[in-house]
Structure 1
């Protein structure tokens, strides 16, 4: 092949590659991202149906714990009940923030040690979880244990387990994903074990401690530890694309709260008022972060504090699929809301 023909072939292949790449571009996401910003948050929220969400609740918590609410779509689409600011929502992995604060408080009190091992606290797991005698409490909190994530087991979300024992059984006697503290990997099993450790040390349920030591001092009266503790009519419905059943009755171990309660907790976490003193806050800062997202079937949560505008922005969306499309759209929605707030600010 001559040099001239070779260059021509390369140009043709590059052209074809470009055409193919355009075919696979998620155009709805790109379109949503590049559209001009509306003037108000409510105008953006009103596009929720265009983004593929049945319902959305947004709380903007400003200085002085003053909250503004924005809703669109349905709390329950079957009965055409509009989304409401005070609906309870399953916040999934955002629950880890509460548990990490509880760990910090118990460490400050001397009831837990970050350097003690899983085998020290739960000796029955020695030989059932690899490296149990080397995995420290700190490694569990910071996701550096190497213990497999039970929600990553094959087809887990087709039929989620409802008890901690059932979830733990999915990873017992399985090899570690890596040696303790040699890598980072997000694992829900870590926090299942932390909950079990705190239950044993306290002699009662971890959420009771969270309520007494975190929620009550902050006057957060609309945060609950289980779907069993609430009036089901107060819970926002959750939907999975292609599956008609409302998922709100599924008991999958998530904390439920309102957007306002969550916003006040995130502010207290970031301004330090959830902690008793600087030492306790330093313990927390050494083990976990100050914002979180959550994703389970039917429920997506984004909870963050934005220092430059001194605002906590909470977003709940109640329609999910697991090819990533709905999550990407929720992030586009959230980022556009924050841009509008910063522009107004």
Structure 2
């Protein structure tokens, strides 16, 4: 295994040598500032995250005027205390990797090897799709999320201690079978596949592997000796430990095998130093022009709601180029968050202030890290005298009810976001009731109509309005102040959902889907090391009486197919996953974005006798079994090949044992549970029950 671990001081000194002399002088002039108040605030918030927000460990760093001025960590790294948590502990940064990918593309732009607005096929001729509009996609559209790609082809992307390049290697084949969900450039909506495609673009143009390119053009020039990719082969002893409520003790390392999308690993200090590239120190790896281009308001090129600084306002690679609350201080702020299944990350850069903050964690959420990182910056700005006061918590105020205009009633009905259907009821008293159409027992959120045409929640923290867009669609726009007690506040404003129209289908098509209603389909295409086996891997088919012709947000397009056509920018319209069904040997399977699932009708009962065996077929599909009453309560022992695994689930679908993360042991079979066996074709599992 390669080891990239050197002292972080060397990384800081490398940056110091590369930044302009004037900036170094500025850093030296600030040497007398101790940042003591910022350090105390950071320590308190880190302790709160690990005690009250489900965070196992957190690591943070603040880069200011050319150097790391604050850094620290809190929580546990391993329960035995053998791997201490330090500033050199490495975390997965998830989708913050996209900023590295965008930077890699921009280095090629700087070298004149590609142009942002030329067709992608000019540089990646093997790229093709069923939809001819793919020829209009440009590198810029990949980086600003406006390519029109469906979203995420992530089969075997998240594995335990396994850096299989399958999702990278098969992407072009997968895209060749897909159509676009929107005209390229029509609007920006979060797209993982766009950045895996950008990874392939870098490789094709440079003639290098993406991992080698990142090291040669980004990590080595910046002295980032701890920053690596899943392609390097990760050293588990250097990684932040992972924990799950589904398993006692430490988990194996999680490996994300779509590097350009989310497969880079780093420390908070090195991530903050990388952020310094965009904080006034452009000469290190990118030209000043490219740094500026990455921070432009790309989201405004297509459909987008009108609103100020927020969590989502896409640049090139950035989630936001106008982050709350920095706009209230007339400061530009760039941000990018990242979430894998276990790691969470946030990078915020204040380009005009020469500052960057990074927060990484095992457990929690990138939203928590983002609020923490923003507070780090705000505390330091106040300590430097750049702002007078820290921001006070905001709200929209107590709503004053107004008479609901009659024309507002037309906006009631069913709305959808990705994989979600909502019901909106409006009454003459001016109340808007928002509920889940598929889970009505979950209750509803109530808004009150006010005289300026907005609906506001009783606590004043949420605001909504209906918008009829130029594309003819009706959206519910919402704006929420998200308050994290003891940590801070952030803001999310977006088109949360789109009004559904009618979708007429034939009787034959309706009957075909009615047979699937309420059934579960289990993933069979994931590798034995897949992290997903620790989750509930069943997909439920739900038809709603209120939405004939739909399966959740997707329009039913035939007896064996469905497809979503919601057009929502930002996040609520991400990851379209068209469904296709087919039968093989009398068993129905479903396909979606490269994943294959088997109907529960094709899942037989495990043999309840003392001895049996299970063999993986030539197609390599995982094999699922029901636990019959005769086997429930018995103790299961499995002898299996090295490259294989099995998992046991209870009646609710919760994983109670997964051999990839636990030592071999007897497992009590739960009533009405399931078992899955996964491995290479021909793998044989010897099963004993007692």
Fold in common (TM above 0.5): yes
**Which of 342, 345, 359 lines up with 1:315 in the alignment?**
359
From 118, 132, 157, give the equivalent of 1:116: 118
Q: Distance in 1 between matches of 2:208 and 2:121?
A: 20
Does the 8 Å CA contact 1:75/1:237 hold for their aligned counterparts? Answer: yes
TM-score (norm 2): 0.40
| 2:270 paired with 1:270 | no
Structure 1, 219-228 or 192-201: larger mean CA deviation: 219-228
Paired position in structure 2 for 1:23: none
- 1:231 is aligned to 2:232: no
Q: Normalized per residue, which structure has more helix? A: 1
Is 1:222 matched up with 2:226? Answer: yes
2:127 equivalent in structure 1: 125
For residues 121 and 68 of structure 2, the distance between their equivalents in structure 1, rounded to whole angstroms, comes to 45
Please name the residue that 1:58 is paired with. 60
1:258 aligns with 2:267: yes
Instruction: State how far apart, in whole Å, the 2-side matches of 1:228 and 1:38 are.
Output: 34
Distance 1:225 1:42 in 2: 29
Tell me the equivalent position of 2:568.
none
Unaligned 5+ runs, structure 2: 1-37, 297-314, 319-333, 385-690
Cα shift at 1:187: 0.6
Distance 1:175 1:270, change over 3 A: same
Contact 2:106 2:290 in 1 (8 A): yes
Pick the structure with more strand per residue.
2
Q: Distance in 2 between matches of 1:216 and 1:124?
A: 31
Give the aligned partner of residue 12 of structure 1.
none
Counterpart CA distance in 2 for 1:38 and 1:207 is: 34
Give the drift of 1:79: 5.1
After superposition, the Cα gap between the structure-2 partners of 1:215 and 1:131, relative to the gap in structure 1 and judged at 3 Å, is same
1:110-166 deviations in whole A, cap 9, x for unaligned? 21122222332333332346522111121112111100111589x987999852134
Q: Which has the larger radius of gyration?
A: 2
Report 1:323-334 matches (<5 A). 326-334=365-373
For residues 21-51 of structure 1, the C-alpha deviation after alignment (integer angstroms, 9 at most, x for no partner) is xxxxxxxxxxxxxxxx995321221122222
1:150 maps to 152
Indicate if the aligned counterparts of 1:237 and 1:298 stay in contact, CA closer than 8 A: no
CA contact (8 A) 2:230 2:255 kept: no
Shift of 1:190: 0.7
Give 1:59 deviation, angstroms: 1.0
State whether structure 2 residue 182 is matched by structure 1 residue 178.
yes
CA contact (8 A) 2:89 2:239 kept: yes
Contact persistence 1:87–1:234 (CA under 8 A): yes
CA distance in 2, matches of 1:86, 1:129: 46
Work out the number of aligned pairs and report it: 303
> Comparing 288-297 with 72-81, which one deviates more in the overlay?
72-81
Give the deviation of 1:328 after TM superposition. Answer: 4.2
Give the Cα separation in 2 of the matches to 1:97 and 1:282. 13
Contact 2:151 2:191 in 1 (8 A): yes
| Candidates 192, 195, 207, aligned match of 2:196 | 192
Closer, same or farther in 2 for the Cα pair 1:42/1:333, shift >3 Å? same
Q: What secondary structure is seen at the aligned counterpart in 2 of 1:123?
A: coil
CA contact (8 A) 1:130 1:174 kept: no
Superposition deviation, residue 82 in structure 1: 4.0
Change (3 A) 1:262 1:202: same
Distance 1:115 1:336, change over 3 A: closer
Aligned residue in 1 for 2:47: 46
Question: How far apart, in 2, do the equivalents of 1:81 and 1:50 lie?
Answer: 23
How far residue 329 of structure 1 moved from its aligned partner, in angstroms, is 3.7
Aligned Cα root-mean-square deviation (Å): 3.2
Return the offset for 1:343: 4.5
Of the structure 1 ranges 223-232 and 157-166, higher mean CA displacement relative to structure 2 is found in: 157-166
Q: Is the 8 A contact 1:275 1:281 kept in 2?
A: no
The alignment's TM-score, normalised by the length of structure 1, stands at 0.76
1:28 paired residue number: none
Question: 1:129, 1:162 → 2: CA distance?
Answer: 26
The whole-number CA distance in structure 2 between the counterparts of 1:189 and 1:97 is 14
Task: Tell me: CA distance 1:240–1:123, structure 2 relative to 1, closer, same or farther (3 Å).
Answer: farther
**Uncovered stretches (5+) of structure 1, i.e. residues with no partner:** 1-36, 321-325
